[in-house]
Amino acid sequence: MKPIRNRRGFLKDTARLALGALGFPALVPARVLGQGAQPGANDTITIGCIGVGSRGRGNLLNLLQDNRCRVLAVCDVDAQHRDLAQAAVNRHYGNRDCGAANDFRELIARPDIDAVLIATPDHWHALIAVAAARAGKDIYGEKPLALTITQGRAMVEAVRRYGVVFQTGTQQRSDGRFRRACELVRNGRIGTVHTVEVEVPGSMSCDGFYPDSVPAGFDYDLWLGPAPQAPYSYKRINAFGWRWIFDYAGGCVTDWGAHHMDIAQWGLGATHTGPVAVEGTGFFPPDGLYNTAVHWRFVCTYANNVKVVCFARKELDPRYFPNGVKFIGSDGWVYVDRGTIAAEPARLLDETIGPEEIHLYESSDHYRNFIDCVRSRRPPAAPIEEAHRSVTCCHLANIAMRLGRRIRWDPDTETILQDPQASRLLSRPLCNGWSL
C-alpha cells in the first residue's frame, strides 16, 4: 500500500506532470504550494537572477552582500555568462547548490524562489516580468522599464493584479544628492520652475554589419525571442550593441533617459502623469546595424507649460560622458548628477527642509531597499508606475523624432491624439509565437 501524500506534495507532482506534458515546467505560484508568496519579516528571501551579463552580474554581486537573502539560481541564454554567475554564487556560499537555467521559464517555475532580478535586453523585460508577477514573484527589474509604452502598462497592471513588489533599477532614487535636489525644487526654493535641462550621453553608430557564426553555448533563438528574425552578429547581441537597435531597445534616449527623465519628473511632482506634447529632432545613422538616434534634442511640455529639454551633444564617448539634471526656476537653479549637487544661490544647499514640508522617499541603498520592501510589503524607492511614466517621455520622444513631428499626448488615457500613424508606434508586434 502506497503512503498517502500530503496536499503540498500532491500539488507539486500535479504541476510537474501538467507542464511536463507540455514540455516545460509549470508557472506555479509559491502560494499555491503552501510556501506563501509574501515572506515574513524574518524570512530569508530567495532570489533567482535572469540575465547575468554585465549589468545583471553587477546586480547579483550586490545582492550577495545582503545576508537577508540567498541566491538560489541564475539564468542566461549565454552559457559563459551563466557559468560565471553560477560559480560566483557557489564561491560566495561555499557550496555547489546554485541552479542554472537557459530559459527563464524554468527559473520562474521554481516554487522555492521568492523574487527575481531581470537584467535582460529591453525587448524581454515585459514578457519575463509579467510571467514572474503571475507566478507570485517579487521583481527587481532593470531600466528602461519596457520596450514600448504598451508593454510598460501591461507590466504595471500585472504587478498590481498579483500584488507583487517591483523595484525599478533607477538607482538614482536611492542617491541622497538626487533626493535633496528634488526636495529643494518641490519645496519652492528656486521659485516657480519653468525649465528642466536634462543632458545624457549619445548613442553609438556602426558603419557596417558583420555576420558571425553563433558561438557554442549561446541560444540565439531564445535571445531573439519576441523580436524579428535577424542574422547573428556579435555587434548585435553584446551589451553595447543591442542597446542601439530599435528592435531591442531605444538607444540612449531610453537607456540614460530613463534615469534622468525620472529625476526630472520626481522634482516636478509629475511621477503619476506626464507631458501633453513632445517634439524634437535627432540624428539617425543613415546605414549600418545601429539605427537609434546618435544625438538629439527633444522637448516635453507639461500642462502647466513647464518644459523639460533633453539633449545629447554627440555619440557615446568615454572621454565625454555628461549626464545630469538642472532645474531652473524664477528665483534660481539646482543642478545634480551622480557626483555633484550645485545651486544658485549656493546657500540653498544649506537650507533645512522643515517637518511640515515635502519629504521624498528616503533610501540609501537600492538593493537593500528592495529586500526591505519584499519583507515589509511596502512600496519601494522606484515603483513601477513611476518608472513607466518616466520612460514614457523617452518613448514618445523617439516616436516624435522618428516621424519628424510634434506628438500630442493625453497622460490620463495614455493615448496619442489625432495621429494614427504615431499611435501605432505605442506598441510592437511580438514575433515567433510569443505573447503577453
Sorted by where each begins, the domain ranges of the chain are 8-172, 176-353+382-424
Distance CA 374, CA 42 (A): 11
**22 falls in which pLDDT band (50, 70, 90)?**
very low
Higher pLDDT, 357 or 5: 357
**41 falls in which pLDDT band (50, 70, 90)?**
low
Could you tell me the three cell numbers for 419? 495621429
Distance CA 143, CA 366 (A): 13
CATH architecture of 8-172: 3-Layer(aba) Sandwich (3.40)
> How far is it between the farthest Cα atoms of the chain?
84
Q: What pLDDT sits at residue 38? A: 66
Is it the case that residue 26 has pLDDT exceeding 50?
A: no
Q: What pLDDT sits at residue 40? A: 67
Is it the case that residue 247 has pLDDT exceeding 80?
A: yes
Instruction: Just give the CATH number of 176-353+382-424.
Output: 3.30.360.10
Is it the case that residue 1 has pLDDT exceeding 60?
A: no
Same fold, 8-172 and 176-353+382-424: no
Please give the average per-residue pLDDT across 96-109, as a whole number.
98
Distance CA 166, CA 235 (A): 31
Side-chain-side CA neighbours of 285 within 13 Å: the count stands at 21
pTM comes to: 0.91
Q: Are 433 and 305 in contact (CB under 8 A)?
A: no
Distance (Å) of CA 107 to CA 37, 128, 178, 181? 16, 11, 35, 40
Q: What pLDDT sits at residue 3? A: 31
